[in-house]
Amino acid sequence: MWHPDRGALERYLGGTSPDGESRALQRHLAVCPECEERLVGLLTPPSLSSAAPDEDYRGLIRLLLDNQRASVASLRERLAAERAAAPGLWREAGGDLQELGRRIRMDPRLQTWGFFEFLIDRAYGMIQEDARGAEALLRLAIDVAEQLGPEEHGAREAAKARAWTWLANILRVQGHFQQAEEAFQTAELYLAGSWLDPLDEALLLELRGALRRGQRRFEEAVELLDAAIAIYREVNEPHLHGRALSIQGLALQYMGDYAAAADRFRRSLFLADGVLEPRLLVSSQYNLISCLQEAGQVAEAAELIPEAKRMMEQVGRPADLLRLRWAEGRIEASRGRLDRAGETLRQVRRAFLDSALVFDAALVSLDLAMVYLRQRRSGETRRLVAEMIPVFQSREVHREALAALIVFQRAAELDELTTGLIEEIAAYLRQARGNPKLRFRGEETGRPHGTAPPARKP
């Protein structure tokens, strides 16, 4: 663990530390009794009588610190009681968010940090299944934060910062990037006026990194996530460290750096707590398999399939197992087992169409087209793409994604389809699913701007 030198501690005491150094010291002193002791030792007593020894002054400082710790213990007890009461208060509202919003302004039992945390946690659990519902809960959490009194664990500004950070993330998930950017700016303002909890600072960095990934600003995403990871490591939060590594792995995967991405996913699997967040392990394992397959490490990827299947059967969803089957088909294709790969990919494609997962169906179709191309089955490829276009049109998929598939269709009809074109269209569709405003620029050349495809979001 890093420890500040004497000069850094003296600057901190004198109030002359640069902002970044001051925050780093605040985080470190919260978890390092040794450095807290060194800081106490550097305190210069005020003008006291010569009969008052330095040790008495240091004893006074320690007494103040002990009183502060006792106050923290009392707050923890109170917070535990609030957390225990939160589910019952939620059930009282019967799931009526409008009624809950009214009660938040009227009922002091809901104006607590414990109920605020409950709303944040519930929203986090809904992100992948019901993004709009999660957004509604986060806006209620902001209302709770507004009602917190200044004595509520000293945390009103911190609560606002945390709620706005999560709101920014859910806006990012829905593809509202500009609104997400504005929400992050609001969160940053509240964070600057808060007690500067290192976890709140790291969360903002982590989720802003996810936004930069969605904006295709990959280098910035990696840098922001590096900063978040450094904080999680410093304050000894291995699970959050693992989560940030998984997000960083996706950014590196978009960049086509599969070796670095695989390293992040491996480390994420080692650090993340499967009890706290089992789906994080599922997504990291799946994405690790995809990275290995893309990097040509097909044998290692295949070895991980049984463990991934076991995990998904325990804590996954039907779609997870379907995507794992998709990965198996791609691995079979990489091994040259084209007939088996084609059969697997056809089954997965049909299942995605039956589930109305049209983007996934299109991406599997591109993998299947790659198999047909290698088998010189141009007629099968033309039939495949002819089936895809009406499905996309019937599901009101945005026009840019449809344009990419039309380029694919024209190339297939003219027998001009290449592996490079298929890969680039697949890269574009993966990006466009999370960013409907992303323009497809390949209408004339048949080559959309895109990066190496990621596997999927955690």
DSSP string, 46-80: -S--TTS-HHHHHHHHHHHHHHHHHHHHHHHHHHH
Q: Residues 144, 125: contact at Cβ < 8 Å?
A: no
Query: Taking Cα atoms as reference points, which of 375, 402, 404, 380 lies closest to residue 391?
Result: 402
Residue 447 zone, left/alpha/beta (φ > 0; ψ -120 to 50; rest): beta
Assigned domain for 457 exists: yes
Does residue 22 fall inside a structural domain? yes
* Residue that finishes a domain, picked among 73, 102, 125: 73
Phi, psi (degrees; rounded to nearest 5) at 264 = -65, -40
| Residue 454 lies inside a defined structural domain of this protein | yes
Residue 439 domain boundaries: 351-458
- 118 C-beta neighbours (distance < 10 Å), count: 22
In a domain, 189, yes or no: no
The values of phi and psi at residue 150, to 5°, are -60, -20
- Spatial distance between the Cα atoms of 394 and 402, rounded to a whole number of angstroms: 11
pLDDT band at 233 (very low <50, low <70, confident <90, very high): very high
> Rounded to the nearest 10 degrees, what angle do helices 156-173 and 177-192 cross at?
170
Residue 386 lies in a domain: yes
Categorize the per-residue pLDDT at 164 as very low, low, confident or very high, splitting at 50, 70 and 90: very high
Looking at residues 58-74, what average pLDDT do you find?
53
pLDDT in tens, 294-334: 898 999 999 999 999 999 988 878 888 999 999 999 999 99
* Per-chain mean pLDDT for the chain: 82
Q: Is residue 263 part of a domain?
A: no
**Which pLDDT value is given to residue 394?**
66
The confidence score (pLDDT) of residue 238 equals 94
Amino acid 77: pLDDT: 76
Tokens of 239: 């699970």
Residue 171 inside a domain? The answer is: no
Tokens of 177: 């990037």
Q: How many CB atoms lie within 10 A of CB 154?
A: 14
Region 139-158: mean pLDDT is 80
Residue after which a domain boundary falls, among 57, 73, 89: 73
- Other Cβ atoms less than 10 A from the Cβ of 444: the count is 7
Q: How far apart are CA 369 and CA 385, in angstroms?
A: 8
pLDDT at residue 440 in the model: 74
Q: What is the chain's alpha carbon radius of gyration, rounded to the nearest angstrom?
A: 26
Select from 73, 97, 128 the last residue of a domain: 73
In this model, does residue 363 exceed pLDDT 80? Answer: yes
- Give residue for tokens 């298929």: 422
Cα torsion for 229, 173, 446, 412, to the nearest 10°? 110
Mean pLDDT of 444-456: 37
Q: What are phi and psi of 196, to 5 degrees?
A: 60, 50
- Number of domains observed in the structure of the chain: 2
For residue 135, tell me if it sits in a domain: no
Confidence of residue 53 (pLDDT cuts 50, 70, 90): very low
